Amino acid sequence: MQDRSPISAFLSARPRRPALGLVLGAALIGLAAPAVAEESETPRYGGELQGFDYPYPVERFRFTSQRQDLQMAYLDVPADTPNGRTVVLLHGKNFCAATWEDSIDRLTAAGYRVIAPDQVGFCKSSKPEAYQFSFHQLASNTHALLESLDLGDVTVMGHSMGGMLASRYALMYPEQTEQLVLVNPIGLEDWKAMGVPYQPVDEGFASERQKDAESIRAYQQSTYYVGDWEPRYDRWVNMLAGMYAGRDGERVAWNQALTSDMVFTQPVIHEFGEIEVPTLLLIGEQDNTAIGKGRASEAVQQTLGHYDVLGERAAERIPDAELIEFPELGHSPHIQQPDRFHKVLLDGLEGLDDS
């Protein structure tokens, strides 16, 4: 599972500690970041992640969208002892359905059926040359997938960009959304409104083409894992970097640039007050993700990515929300401390039921 993905040229991190600042600063200005893992040759995967194995059998949902025949790869994992509930896991921009492996294991052991799709433009799904990407479109695609599986009342759980998508899904399909879970969602602030300059798609594409395993690893270390690194994290670095190093790397980068534009220009936060379903917010407070932060002035940069505050503000905006914070964890708490995170998640899902 090795890939040199685009840690999107627009994702910058807010250093909270001097050590992290050194790592991130090196990544941003092109200097060699401190070694965090043994260097190994980057694998080369196909444009739909051919060559990278998922932890469960991959299914394909084939459909027509925007006058194109497309397919969404997805995992459909049954519960060990079914409780009659289904959780739909929506991945982030630098993640795939496979990244939910630990969550799938824990949820199915607890009785939940799990559906984990790769969105169009990502991972093992289609990467169209031309597509009008929007959270509305991706939510519609996901809803069509669930309808094809005769699934209606589901818990929708999104991480990172998937949190923006999960919020949009709950807004569009409240009657089919039983619960909403947001794990360090991006978009808890409107970057453009706060002063981050817009980046044309062509410039984003040029930046995506420069991504490699080293820069991805440096970014993930500083933002996802709060400066720490474990060898098991390299699997996800290689998953991303491998698509970019492969024969379809240009198509992969183009889709990443298009979806980056979607993330920057389509905030969902202004509609949080309209979310009608019980919502669980799980926030690693050391996260510092802020899209396009590196393009902003120094003064604006200081105002961005404060997840210790953003989680609380989001919980205040969403009418029926419960906030659980992890003070020492970063952008990927479910990967960084899986035992602790999933205990909190399962308890939280029961709490939403009781409420």
In a domain, 332, yes or no: yes
Instruction: Please indicate, yes or no, if residue 151 is contained in any of the structural domains.
Output: yes
Per-residue confidence (pLDDT) for residue 355, from 0 to 100: 60
How much is the pTM? 0.88
Give the chain's domain count. Answer: 1
Residues 345, 349, 354, 355, Cα dihedral to 10°: 90
> Residue 240 domain-assigned?
no
CATH number of domain containing 333: 3.40.50.1820
Residue 264 located in a structural domain:
yes
Hunting for tokens 């060898």 — which residue is that?
A: 231
The predicted-structure confidence for 86-108, as pLDDT tens digits, reads as follows 999 999 999 999 999 999 999 99
- Domain hosting residue 92, numbered range: 58-206+251-354
In a domain? residue 90: yes
Give the separation between CA 307 and CA 314, rounded to whole angstroms. Answer: 10
Over the chain (355 residues), what is each successive 10-residue block's mean pLDDT? 35 33 32 41 96 98 98 97 97 98 98 98 97 98 98 96 98 97 98 98 97 96 95 97 97 98 98 98 97 96 97 98 98 98 96 71
Please give the structure tokens belonging to residue 12. 């910058």
In a domain, 345, yes or no: yes
Residue 353 pLDDT? 72
Please name the amino acid found at residue 38: E
| H or E segment and range at residue 88 | strand 86-90
Is residue 70 in a domain? yes
Domain assignment present for residue 160? The answer is: yes
pLDDT at residue 305 in the model: 97
Strands 154-159 and 321-326, by their bridges, are unpaired
Question: Where are the extended beta strands (E) located within 186-276?
Answer: none
Please name the amino acid found at residue 300: V
